[in-house]
Structure 1
Amino acid sequence: MKLLVVYTHPSHESLSYAFLRQVVQGSGENAAVEDVKVLDLYEAGFDPVLVFNREKRRRDMHVDPALAVYREQLLWADKIVFVYPIWWGRPPAMLLGYIDRLFASGFAYRDKGGLLPEGLLKNKSVVCISTMKGPSLYPLFWLHDAHKTLMRKALFRFVGIKKVKFFEFGRMEVKDGAQAKKLDKVYRYFKTVTA
């Protein structure tokens, strides 16, 4: 199994970075994991801004040479792991920009003329690891699970990815937020996951 870990936080001193380290450590101790690549969107200087004009047309996004290395990473991976904070009830704009630019028609999906497209990233799985300041059940009861719905239905299912697991951790900015226990949970998952 080949893992691509997409890390989206501007700081390497954040709790998100601690979760990233647990993913890498657990995967490194898992015989089922062949290789792990980490894409740190901020460190890589990824440009999340989507631009369309006479030179950059939407229908050509899937062959944009500036994104070739990122497309290759997605095609290479069997499992894509996203590590990010929840800000304002959704992933950071940097990650949404990555999704806007990479998950393009002709690469991630193909229109068939019907209601839903053909997903071109099938046979891959996704894990989303997110942290937030508010309580864990806040997104479910107050936001009607908007974050998970956005990621699972509006994005991953659209491009053919059906297997999606969430680690959505709340109360991460308080002293008794059980951070060590949650970090260990992620470590143990990646140490034992087989598909």
Structure 2
Amino acid sequence: MPRVLVIDAHPDDRSLCAALAERYAAGARAGGAEVELLALRDLEVDLNLRRGLHGDQPTEPDLVRARAALVAADHVAVITPVWWGSVPALLKGFLDRALERGWAYRYRDNGMPEGLLAGRSARVVVTTDSPGWWLRGLMGDSAVRQLTRSTLRFCGLRPVRATRIGQVHGSTADQRAAWLDQVEDLGRADTRRTPRRGKLMPPLPAAEPEPVT
């Protein structure tokens, strides 16, 4: 049975993204997967990488659990809106904290990067108020490129497929219902082509002990 991790990256639990994440998870379960739905808004994690890439920062228990879910997953789905041509601060901060250098990726002696989460596939679902010709043509599909190429593939996940949902602004109830059905079908289909596989298993750092007061 494949394991699927669904990441809901919207700050609002009443959002279309939250509903899409639920439906993708439902489709993955119908496809035979063991599913974990991770709503980033519920994590108690400092999303500010306070010392950049060169300093130590306490690892909160929720971050340890999120990394464990990434390690266990055979397939990862990220559901996020596109805001200002990028992703919400909630998702960006989570990626900064979770995908630590030396854990999710490293650099070889020749300077080339190596993804340490290889053996996993991914699906990115973005919602947007922009028309497709604007998002892809004039904006260069910046959020999708950031997630698929600069983040997930960089960390070794392949293949990484992308689905764009929009225009959300001004959409009808029928359009939203169709998008929900579409994403549920994607969850089912992605699961059926995601067998359990041999994958790299990065070590999981322990949570920092609670300070004595």
State the TM-score bracket (shorter-chain normalisation): 0.7 to 0.9
Amino acid at match of 1:2: R
The counterpart of 1:118, out of the listed 111, 114, 121, is 114
Amino acid at match of 1:163: P
Which residue number corresponds to residue 190 of structure 1? 187
The counterpart of 1:160, out of the listed 120, 131, 156, is 156
Q: TM-score normalized by structure 1?
A: 0.88
For 2:74 and 2:55, the matched residues in 1 are separated by 26
Q: CA deviation at 1:49?
A: 0.9
Q: TM-score normalized by structure 2?
A: 0.81
Which residue number corresponds to residue 19 of structure 1? 20
Q: Conserved in 2, the CA contact under 8 Å of 1:116 and 1:158?
A: no
Q: Conserved in 2, the CA contact under 8 Å of 1:126 and 1:164?
A: yes
Which residue number corresponds to residue 147 of structure 1? 143
For 1:60 and 1:175, the matched residues in 2 are separated by 45
Q: CA deviation at 1:100?
A: 0.8
Amino acid at match of 1:44: L
Which residue number corresponds to residue 89 of structure 1? 85
Q: CA RMSD in A?
A: 1.9
The structure 1 segments of at least 4 consecutive aligned residues displaced by more than 3 Å after TM superposition are none
Identity of aligned residues (%): 27
Equivalent residues, number:
188
Other structure's SS at 2:132 match: coil
Distance change >3 Å, CA 114–CA 148, structure 1 → 2:
farther
Q: Conserved in 2, the CA contact under 8 Å of 1:136 and 1:169?
A: no
Matching of residues 4-153 of structure 1 within 5 Å: 4-31=5-32, 33=33, 35-52=34-51, 58=54, 60=56, 65-66=59-60, 67-153=63-149
